[in-house]
Structure 1
Amino acid sequence: MTAPTTLSRSRFRFLCALLFCTGMTSLVFQIIWLRGFGIILGSTIYSMSSVITVFMLGLALGSFLMSQLLKRGRWLAAHPLAAYGSVELLVGLSALLVTWTLFTHQGFYLSLSGSPTAPLLKLLATQFTVCAALIAVPTTLMGMTLPLVSQLVTDRRQVSALYGINTIGGATGSIVASFVLIYYLGCVRAGAVAAALNGLIFCAAVLTSRYFPPVPAGAEETDDGAPAATLAAENRLLGRPLLLTLAVFSGFIALSCEITWTRFLSLAFGNRVYVTSIALALILLFMGQAARMSSALLRGPNPLWRILLYSCAFTLISFSAAFLLERPALQASHPGIVVLFILVMVVFPATALGLLFPLTLAARPAGVDNPASWVGLVYGFNTLASLVGSLASGYVLINLIGSNGLIAFNSALLVLSLLGLVYAFRQHFKPSDHALAAVAGLGFLAVILPRSTEVPPVVDATSAVVSSEDAHGIFSVVRMDAGRLRVLNNRTDLVYLYGDPTTQYVQESQAYLPILYAPQLERVLNIGSGYGITAGAFSRVAEVRAIEAVEIVPALVEHANLFSPGNHRYFDNPRIQVHVTDGRHFLATTPERYDIISINVSDPYLPGSSSLFSREFYEMARSRLKPGGVLAQHIFGPDIASLYHGIHEVFPHVKAIPAYGNGLTLIASAEPLRPHQREVFLRQYDEGRALFGPIGLDNGLAGFEELIALGDEKLQELASRAPEFRNSDDMPTLEFRRLPGKVGLFYSNN
């Protein structure tokens, strides 16, 4: 064989720098698009999955397309670096156009997004079509870059390293997008910065293309000094069909595991948007580092099959150790255990599994005339399998078998791969290989399988009333003292304790306060049903004709009977219609107009929830109210003054009552607020005592009006304070707010 056609160190580092920037800009755009599509399609697991699906499908199509073009395009073959730069320029221009239109033409895309209450398959088809129409072009272009650059090298170790650097660039982009670009510049300007970097890549590639001639046809690699018998056996096994099968396997299992890894990281570290970015960055970082490690492993004495064996075995052993640590780690008994759990559940497996695809990418079956075309084909199959893994796991498997079951499912796939390697290379096995495979198999049978049916123990099982899991998270209801219940999704408290008098007072007041000031009581919308207390309180007023309750967490609706009689069994009331979907998307697409819109969202800093506090949302809500209609919303926290000013800028007339001791329940209207229903409260409800007595106001409406007077005083104080920021869809300051405290970047209400 001839010597490998390797690049000089300086030129290879230059290519690495370009691929690093390519990965970084791609992830910046992906994070921006996830937020933009969350607004026009709804901040649900299904809309987010549609975005990721189209993103990965575009990468796969671009890779497949380039693998074919490289076989036929003479200019591409002669000028690969210039072609790569041109593709990057087109990526930047098309992605910036998508970003700009997402945040400036929301009304148009909302008209195409379909009804959130449509049948699931129809809704998914609509969301997929909208996503594909917008981001198919830039993502397809993104998928073309790695095959083009790989045309400059034939050394399989350098190809794997380039892929690893590209992935590490993606990890960096995840951090940079959340911690710097969106936080300081907003979404559209963050996209402009990413597009500018694409432009710089174009300039650098075109200006230096003459120093990177294409690899001569027929250039081959060395055999790395491996024993002849081992190479012969490896070549028989690792033919073209099997390598493509390995590419599919590694893509499916990596994305399937990524879904559970992201959940476990959020369980361990917090509920803020920064946690999601850090989780994605960690996964990509260690998978990218594994790709870089693969080039060093290929220089060593171990054949490819043994490295694959070690990868599968160490992943199984890590998962076994993680399951043993799961309970104390998720219940946070000691910070060191949490760190160790993340190491064995995420870091070690991500590194081990991260070796699989780069090793497959580096392999060259007999009969491959164009290595770059082969890279495009393998990369395309891997990405397409990643898409399937994401869809199957995120839509189906996690609902059927949960996070632990999904880890067990992927572990079973690894066991099958392990058995295949053991059988194929049994003649070349060393005692250490047998021992490692045996330990991995024992861990699967003794630890992983028995734990596969358990819901990750976020709460103590002895106090759990409900512990269930679906695509939206781990839903837990925990029995507290004095008969109170605590409700969590993952580790986030959804509402304050059920059964606490303050909870009943605040949640019911969010119905009675807007009822008092609304001119008409024909139709009410309650976004964020919580325990259902607010919807139930609306139903206690006979004059309210129709109530629509929208809740994004399905388990809260499914277990609503646990919160009776506090919610007045709202789910059995014929005047109440319950929708399980994103509240903002529902309001944006419904043809109805309302007398009252009551927004019962517990935390303005969470992803998804923060979009219910933006200027664009308030303007939309104002357009959905009937003349004189009233908006109600609870505000609290260190930014309460800025939250008040955000509402007041759109609704000039605001009143309030104290809530929870650290917040206010506001009502707002475009027209002056007058107690239109005061006589109804006095006449129909025993001067208000029939409504207000159960929430601790024995003197009825008189006591409630005293609270309103206190609220007026508080509003005067808030009005005197200048807002620190203005929250908008393009500038989502609330979601990316640096909250005070040691863990303010990680937790908001914990």
Structure 2
Amino acid sequence: MPRSFLATLFFASGVAGLIYEILWFRHFGLLFGNVVHATALVLVAFFAGLALGNHWIGRCADRVTSPLRLYGVLELGVAITALPIPVLLEVLESLPVSRVTPGGLTMTATLAVLAVLPAATFMGGTLPVLGRAVVRMSKHDVAESGGRLYAINTFGAACGALATGCFLPFYIGVWDTYIFAVGINFLVAVVALLYAKQEYIATDEVHVVLNDPKPIEVPIQGGGGSVPLILSLALLSGLFTLCLQVMWTRMFALVFHNSVFSFAIIVVTFLVGLAVGAFIVARLISEVQWVYKHPWQLMVWVLIITAVLISLSPPLFMVLTGLEREPHADVSVWPLLWAASLTTLITVPPIITAGMILPLLWHVYHPQSLIVGSSSNVGARLGGVMAANLLGAIFGALTAGFVVIPLFGLWQGLFLIALAYVVCALVVMLMCERRARVSRGAMTRQFAISQQCTVWIVIAIIVGGNFVVPSSLGALQRLKDGESLLFHKEGSSAAVAVLKRKDGHLKLKVNNTYGLGGTSGEIQERRMGHLPLLLHENPRRIAFIGVATGITMSALNLTPRGEQIERALAVELLPHVVEAAEMFRDYTGDVLSDPRVEVRIGDGRHVLHSSDEHFDVITLDLITPWHANAGSLYSVEFYAEISDRLAEGGLFCQWLPLYQLGSREFKIIARTFQSVFPYVQLWRGSLNPRYPMLGLVGSNHEIDLERDFLAGTTSNGEVYPKDPYLVDLPSLFLLYAGNEEALRPLLQGMPLNSDDRPLVEYLAPLSHLSSHQLLGEVLIQFFDDMLQGPGWTSESHQMPSTAGNLLLAAKWAKRQKDYDKRTDLLDRVRILVPESQYIQRFVIGL
């Protein structure tokens, strides 16, 4: 079989491997919640299986007569064992009882890891087995052949990450994408097994390989090295590389929108850098005699250059971005190109040099003597180093998020990784010097002296920079003029900050870019928690998904309606957000300390799925729709879960940030929502045409709008005088936008958003980046279309709703500086709802 054909097979295998990994991330996120622990669990299972396969199957590869046949069997094993994994994980997800207690969670995690382990183990064995086949065919050095194969497979992995991250689940669905990967492995297996039939194994070589008790030793020109040192370097290389991936992902989260596209960009550039580095070393070993003879000296320079480039990444990032968010454009491809360019410029150079380490270690790793004219020990050499590297990757994935960033912070963590690379260079250099004390030429001595000086200079610079640069870069939060930082913590998942604005208002930010509310919108945020309580006839048990500042939850203790609540469950994904919410206690009435409130840290969907409790009202705060994996909170499966958690007559309110959604995504969400809840209402969070928010209210029972659900909530007849929209019924119904009958004609032909078809997750980032959101005139026209639909049985509802839409149009006209149109619209509003206190008090201010 031509080597190019083998390379094609291994490229395709790499494509399938990354498809599996990314889809396992998604499945584990649904099983355990989209939290950092679920990601870590996938990495542990995946890398542990790869390490086991490299170590065990790599040793077996040196004893088989047909490595190509074994390779085909391994690819077939991947296909067979990977196929049932999604089904097994869904079975585990359908057993909430097993995850209610810590013991049940541990059992579920163990079973999930065991489900992934066999497929990952078969994957891990493919490199050493195919490497032995290629070395025997080409008679090339192990490092050259292994480096080329590793590069080709990693390039394939990059293509798999790009396809899965950017389009495959959107167009064909998650399950079909998974089947596509299984099909790739099956096809590769069939082709390899068919060609293996034609393979001829020389019987005399087989006899030597298997039976010669005293193999002939061949000296290694480049010089071997201590096996423990080589394996330690391989382990540390994997640890540092995964630490860098986690830390750089966190770094770019400060300016990227963290959609599926930006995540794919980071993964792809990282994999491409590793592949290029491995390919460069493979070429150097085959074509440059000095590299072949002096791999350890090259290793020192590679480690030094990697350390320098890593230490430059934080200041370079700050210079290029200034912590400004990625730009928007009329065409969504330009922001993505900007993100790809930024990621490539900052991360690819150091990752290329880091990717050179593994092939160099293959070159110097000789656990046993080679046999003349044989490909013996190839599998052990490739698999042994790779297994150590993958074990290090496990520790790196866990160390970066759970230890380094929480303890040292992002900037200092990157400098510590750079320093660790230089320390490795120093150890290798000292080993080289000890081995070189035997006579050497003058030029070699001069070279060693210059290398030693360079190492010590770089160590001094990085150590000094470790104390100076992180503090000079400041916190992971951009401050505008007049802003000050009151709270800032870096956790395993995100950096959380509380800022004080120039006007004295506070705001909560996550990863520099995401705003989770603030005191300037206090009345509106509290309304988002208050309105669902008003719509229920007698709420007693409620749940809030998303704590944020706590202002939305403060409807529990700062409004008359909240006084009758007996229990409130508050779910927040980020623990540091709950800490930061303490900064807002003067605006929330210290609601989180209310004895009726229970705060749980975790993914909202997972928490509700693991509970058997039922609620009268469940409120889901604003969730960024274009964030990776946020689509699971807009899926038909999630809505069905919510429906099961509602008590008799209960209702669910999901607030949508229309300024982050395009018209198509909103209609997909509404169509999905309506497919689960037979009774739906739409309520505007405010009449702001620039930053509109809309509440989808769903129930399994009809919500009675004919009753005066504002009556009796206060003694003076006003439901909540502090909120201009909640002073009376005509003012409240300015926010009402219609029901399921008025909405249904506008959703014809819209598909459902599901876990298998995460449409919103892929469409919302494009609408946001291209500034095609549902706001302004597009939003006004949508509400006008709603008013023309069926379902308006009462003028007492339709007239205020019409007035609300006219008010929205008037505010937009003011923004467009069309003052004549604004005046005309306001005159029509006064005629429609003259009794509204909101109109009487506040319209003049428009």
What is the TM-score with the length of structure 2 in the denominator? Answer: 0.79
Q: Which residue of 1 aligns with 2:83?
A: 96
- Alpha-carbon deviations, 1:352-396, whole Å to 9, x = none? 111111211233426245221232222212111211221222222
Among 455, 464, 469, the residue aligned to 1:446? 464
Q: Which residue of 1 aligns with 2:815?
A: none
How far residue 600 of structure 1 moved from its aligned partner, in angstroms, is: 0.7
- Alpha-carbon deviations, 1:563-586, whole Å to 9, x = none? 233323211211111111110000
CA contact (8 A) 1:738 1:744 kept: no
How far residue 686 of structure 1 moved from its aligned partner, in angstroms, is: 3.3
Indicate how the Cα distance of structure 1 residues 25 and 265 shifts in structure 2: closer, same or farther if over 3 A, else same: same
Give the AA of the match of 1:367.
Q
1:125 matches 2:112 = no
**Structure 2 CA distance, aligned partners of 1:589 and 1:545?**
21
CA contact (8 A) 1:44 1:552 kept: yes
Among 307, 310, 324, the residue aligned to 1:316? 307
Q: Which residue of 2 aligns with 1:480?
A: 501
How far residue 745 of structure 1 moved from its aligned partner, in angstroms, is: 11
Indicate how the Cα distance of structure 1 residues 526 and 196 shifts in structure 2: closer, same or farther if over 3 A, else same: same
Give the AA of the match of 2:701.
E
Unpaired runs of 5+ residues, structure 2, are 136-140, 210-214, 327-336, 371-376, 437-443, 776-846
Among 373, 380, 396, the residue aligned to 1:389? 396
**Structure 2 CA distance, aligned partners of 1:692 and 1:133?**
55
Indicate how the Cα distance of structure 1 residues 649 and 613 shifts in structure 2: closer, same or farther if over 3 A, else same: same
- Alpha-carbon deviations, 1:650-709, whole Å to 9, x = none? 111112221253331121101111259846x422423663x532222363444223433x
SS of equivalent residue, structure 2 residue 533: helix
CA contact (8 A) 1:255 1:389 kept: yes
Among 515, 519, 524, the residue aligned to 1:499? 519
**Structure 2 CA distance, aligned partners of 1:130 and 1:87?**
23
**Structure 2 CA distance, aligned partners of 1:729 and 1:337?**
29
Give the aligned length.
714
Among 717, 721, 731, the residue aligned to 1:703? 731
Q: Which residue of 2 aligns with 1:423?
A: 430
Among 154, 171, 181, the residue aligned to 1:194? 181
Q: Which residue of 1 aligns with 2:531?
A: 513
Within-5 A mapping of 1:462-611: 463-496=484-517, 498-500=518-520, 503-539=521-557, 540=559, 541-611=562-632
Indicate how the Cα distance of structure 1 residues 12 and 26 shifts in structure 2: closer, same or farther if over 3 A, else same: same
SS of equivalent residue, structure 2 residue 563: coil
Q: Which residue of 2 aligns with 1:108?
A: 94
Give the AA of the match of 2:414.
I
**Structure 2 CA distance, aligned partners of 1:748 and 1:416?**
54
Instruction: Point out the more displaced range, 338-347 or 19-28.
Output: 338-347
How far residue 64 of structure 1 moved from its aligned partner, in angstroms, is: 2.1
Q: Which residue of 1 aligns with 2:52?
A: 61
CA contact (8 A) 1:88 1:142 kept: yes
Give the AA of the match of 1:112.
S
**Structure 2 CA distance, aligned partners of 1:188 and 1:441?**
50
**Structure 1 CA distance, aligned partners of 2:609 and 2:171?**
28
**Structure 1 CA distance, aligned partners of 2:125 and 2:563?**
62
How far residue 614 of structure 1 moved from its aligned partner, in angstroms, is: 0.5
CA contact (8 A) 2:297 2:429 kept: no
Give the AA of the match of 1:261.
W
CA contact (8 A) 1:641 1:719 kept: no
- Alpha-carbon deviations, 1:97-150, whole Å to 9, x = none? 1124445x46435443345xx5xxx68734531321321121111111112111
Indicate how the Cα distance of structure 1 residues 289 and 253 shifts in structure 2: closer, same or farther if over 3 A, else same: same
Indicate how the Cα distance of structure 1 residues 368 and 675 shifts in structure 2: closer, same or farther if over 3 A, else same: farther
Within-5 A mapping of 1:291-330: 291-299=278-286, 300=288, 301-302=290-291, 303-330=294-321
- Alpha-carbon deviations, 1:183-212, whole Å to 9, x = none? 111111001111111111012101222455
Among 11, 15, 26, the residue aligned to 1:35? 26
CA contact (8 A) 1:529 1:535 kept: yes
Q: Which residue of 2 aligns with 1:171?
A: 158
**Structure 1 CA distance, aligned partners of 2:177 and 2:679?**
35
**Structure 2 CA distance, aligned partners of 1:329 and 1:15?**
42
Give the AA of the match of 1:371.
V
- Alpha-carbon deviations, 1:251-274, whole Å to 9, x = none? 111112211122223334332121
1:276 matches 2:263 = yes
**Structure 1 CA distance, aligned partners of 2:149 and 2:745?**
55
Indicate how the Cα distance of structure 1 residues 695 and 519 shifts in structure 2: closer, same or farther if over 3 A, else same: closer
1:683 matches 2:670 = no
Give the AA of the match of 2:131.
S
Within-5 A mapping of 1:704-723: 704-708=732-736, 711-712=737-738, 716=742, 719-722=745-748
Give the AA of the match of 2:359.
P
CA contact (8 A) 2:539 2:564 kept: yes
Q: Which residue of 2 aligns with 1:7?
A: none
Give the AA of the match of 1:316.
A
How far residue 744 of structure 1 moved from its aligned partner, in angstroms, is: 4.9
Instruction: Point out the more displaced range, 442-451 or 157-166.
Output: 442-451
Indicate how the Cα distance of structure 1 residues 412 and 520 shifts in structure 2: closer, same or farther if over 3 A, else same: same
Q: Which residue of 1 aligns with 2:700?
A: 670
Relative contact order higher in (CA < 8 Å, ≥ 6 apart): 1
Q: Which residue of 1 aligns with 2:8?
A: 17
CA contact (8 A) 2:543 2:617 kept: yes
1:437 matches 2:455 = yes
Instruction: Point out the more displaced range, 44-53 or 430-439.
Output: 430-439
Unpaired runs of 5+ residues, structure 1, are 1-9
Instruction: Point out the more displaced range, 477-486 or 517-526.
Output: 477-486
Percent identity over the alignment is 23
Give the AA of the match of 2:118.
V
SS of equivalent residue, structure 1 residue 682: coil
SS of equivalent residue, structure 1 residue 535: coil
Indicate how the Cα distance of structure 1 residues 742 and 618 shifts in structure 2: closer, same or farther if over 3 A, else same: closer
Indicate how the Cα distance of structure 1 residues 209 and 748 shifts in structure 2: closer, same or farther if over 3 A, else same: farther
**Structure 2 CA distance, aligned partners of 1:23 and 1:465?**
47
How far residue 723 of structure 1 moved from its aligned partner, in angstroms, is: 5.1
Indicate how the Cα distance of structure 1 residues 40 and 288 shifts in structure 2: closer, same or farther if over 3 A, else same: same
Indicate how the Cα distance of structure 1 residues 560 and 739 shifts in structure 2: closer, same or farther if over 3 A, else same: closer
- Alpha-carbon deviations, 1:235-285, whole Å to 9, x = none? 3xx132222222112111111221112222333433212111111111111
Instruction: Point out the more displaced range, 260-269 or 352-361.
Output: 260-269
CA contact (8 A) 1:66 1:144 kept: yes
Give the AA of the match of 2:266.
A
Among 405, 408, 419, the residue aligned to 1:412? 419
Indicate how the Cα distance of structure 1 residues 719 and 664 shifts in structure 2: closer, same or farther if over 3 A, else same: farther
Give the AA of the match of 1:131.
A
CA contact (8 A) 1:518 1:596 kept: yes
Indicate how the Cα distance of structure 1 residues 265 and 109 shifts in structure 2: closer, same or farther if over 3 A, else same: farther
**Structure 1 CA distance, aligned partners of 2:527 and 2:342?**
43
CA contact (8 A) 1:688 1:701 kept: no
Q: Which residue of 2 aligns with 1:5?
A: none
Give the AA of the match of 1:259.
V
Indicate how the Cα distance of structure 1 residues 136 and 367 shifts in structure 2: closer, same or farther if over 3 A, else same: closer
How far residue 158 of structure 1 moved from its aligned partner, in angstroms, is: 0.9
- Alpha-carbon deviations, 1:208-244, whole Å to 9, x = none? 22455569456999989x6xxxx4xx43xx1322222
Q: Which residue of 2 aligns with 1:347?
A: 348
Within-5 A mapping of 1:141-290: 141-154=122-135, 155-156=141-142, 157-210=144-197, 212-213=199-200, 216=205, 231=222, 234-235=223-224, 238-290=225-277
Instruction: Point out the more displaced range, 265-274 or 123-132.
Output: 123-132
